Amino acid sequence: MQNDMLRRLVAEFLGTLWLVLGGCGSAVLSAAFPELGIGFVGVAFAFGLTVLTMAYAVGHISGGHFNPAVTLGLWSAGRCANKHVLPYIVVQVLGAVCAAAILWFIASGKAGWVPNGFASNGYGNLSPGQYSLGAAFVTELVLTFFFLLIIIGATSKGAATGFAGIPIGLGLTLIHLISIPVTNTSVNPARSTAPALFAGGEYIGQLWLFWLAPIAGAMIAGALGRLLYEPSTLIDTVIEEQRSASPDPGD
């Protein structure tokens, strides 16, 4: 049992590390590289590809959450055991911070490098497009809601087996294409926390939103997903009782 938990935690640590290193790394190192920058579209695909690749690499070990909001959303959906929730969140944050440290070391190897926001998330004057707190909150809540709905639906009974990583990765790509100008895209509290710790100042002061909004959106999606894809025993019982009470057409 302990060995199983260790394997799960290592998988979540490595998956989150790769997500932050690949996604934030593309933003810090490649997005505006002179003449050959990958821009918003490239960064969006980088985030999607990190989830897609790690979903197949270690998703079968831990479930491939790589995100505290996903863990809590799946817990809300009845897909994550109580005993896994806190340990998963702890190693996800640690993996993200480790990735940010690696990225800082690499990026600072260039003479004259200026970290700026270091791919941190923000609203108001820290938003890439100067979007308000309210706009940022709604963006993060709604997009995380749909991200969890995609995850729950793609991994539900009846969905095509073996392909869940594809819609999940593409879903995260689409989310980034929509929201990079608004918040620099979080939908993941661990991803938000790690670069903010290195950027410091106001970025840390705004972290609360990038925990609250994604977690709220994820848990709402989890509750809805439980109803859509895995109806509770109570609902099944009510339906069965209604069928039993209905007159038989043959009578």
Tell me which residue of 248, 64, 46 sits closest to 152, measured CA to CA: 64
Mean pLDDT, residues 85-110 taken together: 97
pLDDT of residue 232: 53
- Give residue 158's region: left, alpha or beta (phi > 0; psi -120 to 50): left
pLDDT of residue 234: 39
Number of Cβ within a 10 Å radius of residue 217: 26
pLDDT band at 251 (very low <50, low <70, confident <90, very high): very low
On average, the pLDDT of the chain sits at 92
- Rounded CA gap, 224 and 190, in Å? 24
pLDDT for residue 233 is more than 80: no
pLDDT of residue 8: 97
Among 81-85, 180-184, 228-232, the least confident range: 228-232
pLDDT for residue 235 is more than 60: no
pLDDT for residue 35 is more than 80: no
pLDDT per residue as tens digits for the range 152-201: 999 998 888 889 999 999 999 999 999 999 999 999 999 999 999 999 99
The pTM of the full predicted model, rounded to 2 decimals, is: 0.90
pLDDT band at 241 (very low <50, low <70, confident <90, very high): very low
pLDDT band at 246 (very low <50, low <70, confident <90, very high): low
pLDDT of residue 157: 87
Mean pLDDT, residues 88-109 taken together: 98
Task: For the chain, give the secondary structure using H, E and C.
Answer: CHHHHHHHHHHHHHHHHHHHHHHHHHHHHHCCCCCCCCHHHHHHHHHHHHHHHHHHHHHHHHCCCCCHHHHHHHHHCCCCCHHHHHHHHHHHHHHHHHHHHHHHHHHCCCCCCCCCCCCCCCCHHHCCCCCCHHHHHHHHHHHHHHHHHHHHHHCCCCCCCCCCHHHHHHHHHHHHHHHHHHHCCCCCHHHHHHHHHHHCCHHHHCHHHHHHHHHHHHHHHHHHHHHHHCCCHHHHHHHHHHHHHCCCCCC
Among 31-40, 78-87, 177-186, the least confident range: 31-40
pLDDT of residue 248: 53
Among 9-18, 107-116, 191-200, 231-240, the least confident range: 231-240
Question: What does the block give as tokens for 192?
Answer: 């938000």
Is residue 16 a contact partner of residue 95, using CB atoms and an 8 Å limit? yes
pLDDT for residue 247 is more than 60: no
By percentage, how much of the chain surpasses pLDDT 90? Answer: 82
